[in-house]
Every structure is written in structure tokens, then in C-alpha cells.
């Protein structure tokens, strides 16, 4: 599992590389909580490097969404592979998360609302 | 892995891992390869991998109460019409009546594993009639590519 954070304008971009499962999702959660402590205004999550995600990964992102909403920040997901999109559809969370095609669309989405 | 053959020419593969999250990827890789060999389609393969991973995660979290050296024993049967996976543990007996998916309109972290398993598999059957531990049987009927 590799987690890389870039700062871009008023957002942090978290790039996740590797499977997100019961073993690795606590690492993702820890990184997201650290970004919350740094008062990250908006969070974009790049899932291009994720070929597998289970319910613990989805739960981690639901928690991140709720934390961002509490502080009136925005969370956008982008670059989802079909298998990952399927997991969000299975849990009907594809309607809850703002899922963007790519980084440009995600950056535009945080300015739009 | 231990290969075997049944009388009806189904193949049987057995895998055992310690009930620890870091070994889940071994089960996923094995199940993925078995799905490929069985000739099923890619979507079904992803679904079977997800269900087996979620069921193993539930064994680690709930039956064993956390990571342990205790085993998860997987018996995988491939026949021309289906893949059947039996996951056996030796932990706390589960109350089968309490295994329910949560409502999806509650937007909260956690509790989605059982929903995923029930949605993607054709048959799910829990059995706690063992002297020790439990078994979950997962069945997916194969739609050829």
C-alpha cells in the first residue's frame, strides 16, 4: 500500500495505490485523519491505483465523507476502475459520494459546490 | 493448496490461512485464479473474490474476535455449473439469526460485508452444527464467457 498526498490550490489530493482491505484500510484511515488534523479544506481521493476495495475500504471513505461534511469541506473521488465503481454501486453509495472522472473534473467540482 | 477430484469430475482445492488480515490477499488471489480456470466471466470473478474476502474478514473480526493464529480453512469445489466455497473456522459459535445485512439508507461506516455477500452470491448458507466453530457455504452458478 502506498499513500501519497499532493497539495493543490485549496485541496489535498490523496493518491492510494494498492488493495484496500481489512489489512490496509486502517492505514488509509490514519492518513485521512492526519489530513483532517491539518485542517485540509477539501479532499480529493485518486483511486486509479486501487484494483480491489472491500467494505472496510468503503467504510473508511464514508467516515472521511462525514468528517469533511462536518467541517463544511468537500470530498470527491476520481479515477475509479470499473470493479471499484461496482463496489460503490452495490452499496448504493455511488449516489452519496461525488464520483468524478478525473482530477480536473474533481478540482472543478469543488469550486462548483 | 491440495487438489482433489470428486466422483462427478468436479475439482476440489483446499487452502488454509491463519485468520489474519495480511493473508486475505492470498485467498483473493487463489479464488481469482480458480474463477479464471472455471471459465466464468470477469464480473462474476470479482464478485466471488469480494464475497470470499468479506466472509473471511467477518470470521477474523467476529468469530475469532480479531487476528489470530487460528485457521480459516477454505474448500473450493469447481464443477461445470458452479463454484462452491466452504469457509470453516474454529472460533466462537455464531448466532445465525443475527447475521443480517444493514439498511442501505443509513449512511454510516461499517456493516456492509453481509450485504455484499448476499447480493453477489447465488446461495449463502451458514452452519454452526459443529463441535467447534462454524462454516459458511457460498455458491455462484457459472455463466460462461
Tell me the CATH number at A84.
3.30.750.24
Smallest Cβ distance to A23: which of B22, B54, B107? B22
- Output the pLDDT for position B105: 73
Mutate to test the interface with A, among B44, B106, B112, B113 (most CBs of A within 10 A): B112
- Residue A79 domain flag: yes
Residue of A nearest to B56 (CA): A22
Output the domain CATH number for residue B59.
Answer: 3.30.565.10
DSSP secondary structure, A49-87, as one string: E-S-B-HHHHHHHHHHHHHHHHTT-EEEEE---HHHHHH
**Range of the structural domain that residue A100 is part of:** 18-112
3-state secondary structure of B45: helix
SS (H, E, C) B97-144: HHCCCCCCCCCCCCCCHHHHHHHHCCEEEEECCCCCCEEEEEEEECCE
pLDDT digits (tens, 9 = 90+) for A52-79: 999 999 999 999 999 999 989 999 999 9
Is position A94 within any domain?
yes
Does residue A70 belong to any structural domain of this protein? Answer: yes
pLDDT given at position A93: 92
Domain assignment present for residue A65? The answer is yes
List the single range of A13-22, A58-67, B94-103, B129-138 with lowest mean pLDDT: B94-103
Q: Please state the rounded mean pLDDT for residues A24-44.
A: 94
Q: Within a 13 Å sphere around the CA of A23, how many CA atoms are in the beta-carbon half?
A: 15
What range defines the domain where residue B108 resides? 2-141
Nearest to A45 by CA among A69, A74, A23: A74
User: Hey, which residues does B124 pair with through a beta bridge?
Assistant: B138
pLDDT exceeds cutoff 70 at B11: yes
Q: What is the pLDDT of residue A90?
A: 93
Looking at every residue in chain B, the average pLDDT score rounds to 90
What is the average pLDDT across A74-97? 95
Question: Could you tell me if B141 and B78 are in contact, meaning their C-beta atoms sit under 8 angstroms apart?
Answer: no
Q: How many angstroms separate the CA atoms of B50 and A54, rounded?
A: 7
Any domain includes A84: yes
Cα gap A11→B19, rounded to integer Å = 39
pLDDT at B40 over 90: no
Contact flag B107-A62 (C-beta cutoff 8 Å): yes
**pLDDT tens digit string along B51-70?**
999 999 999 999 999 999 99
pLDDT surpassing 60 at residue B2 = no
Chain B residues lying within 8 Å of A90, measured CB to CB: 115-116, 119-120
How far, in Å, are A98, B59, B62, B101, B124 from residue B98 at the CA level? 33, 14, 12, 9, 15
**Residue A18: predicted pLDDT:** 97
Instruction: Find all residues with CB under 8 Å of B88, minimum gap 6, and list them.
Output: B72, B73, B74, B75, B133, B134, B135
Say how many domains are in chain B. 1
Higher pLDDT, residue B15 or B144 = B15
Pairing of β A98-100 and β A74-78: parallel
Nearest to A86 among B21, B46, B112 (CB): B46
Domain count, chain A: 1
Residue A73 resides in a domain: yes
A contact test, residue of B20, B23, B109, B110 with most A CBs within 10 A: B109
Per-residue pLDDT at B62: 94
Instruction: Quickly tell me which residue has 465523507 as its cell.
Output: A65
Average pLDDT, chain A: 95
pLDDT band at B144 (very low <50, low <70, confident <90, very high): low
Query: Is the ipTM reported for this complex over the cut 0.90?
Result: yes
Q: What is the dihedral of CA B104, B110, B112, B113, to 10 degrees?
A: -170
Amino acid at each position: 500500500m502506498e499513500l501519497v498526498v499532493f497539495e493543490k490550490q485549496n485541496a489535498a489530493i490523496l493518491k492510494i495505490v494498492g488493495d484496500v482491505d481489512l489489512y490496509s484500510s486502517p492505514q488509509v484511515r490514519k492518513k485521512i485523519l492526519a489530513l483532517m488534523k491539518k485542517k485540509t479544506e477539501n479532499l480529493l481521493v485518486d483511486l486509479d491505483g486501487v484494483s480491489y476495495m472491500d467494505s472496510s475500504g468503503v467504510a473508511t471513505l464514508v467516515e472521511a465523507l462525514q468528517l469533511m461534511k462536518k467541517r463544511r469541506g468537500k470530498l470527491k473521488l476520481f479515477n475509479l476502475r470499473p470493479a471499484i465503481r461496482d463496489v460503490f454501486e452495490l452499496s448504493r453509495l455511488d449516489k452519496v459520494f461525488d464520483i468524478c472522472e478525473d482530477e480536473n473534473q474533481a478540482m472543478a467540482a469543488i469550486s462548483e459546490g | 493448496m491440495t487438489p482433489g477430484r470428486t466422483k462427478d469430475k468436479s475439482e476440489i482445492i483446499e487452502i488454509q490461512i491463519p485468520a489474519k488480515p495480511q493473508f486475505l490477499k492470498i485467498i483473493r488471489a487463489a479464488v481469482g485464479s480458480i474463477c479464471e480456470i472455471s471459465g466464468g466471466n470477469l464480473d462474476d470473478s470479482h464478485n466471488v473474490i469480494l464475497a470470499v474476502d468479506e466472509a473471511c474478514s467477518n470470521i477474523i473480526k467476529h468469530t475469532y474476535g480479531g487476528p489470530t493464529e487460528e485457521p480459516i480453512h477454505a474448500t473450493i469445489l469447481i464443477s461445470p455449473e458452479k463454484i462452491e466455497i466452504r469457509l470453516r473456522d474454529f472460533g466462537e459459535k455464531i448466532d445465525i439469526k443475527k447475521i443480517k445485512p444493514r439498511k442501505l439508507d443509513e449512511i454510516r461506516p461499517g456493516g456492509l460485508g453481509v450485504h455484499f455477500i448476499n447480493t453477489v452470491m447465488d446461495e449463502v448458507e451458514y452452519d454452526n452444527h459443529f463441535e467447534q466453530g462454524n462454516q459458511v457455504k457460498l455458491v455462484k452458478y457459472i455463466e460462461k464467457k
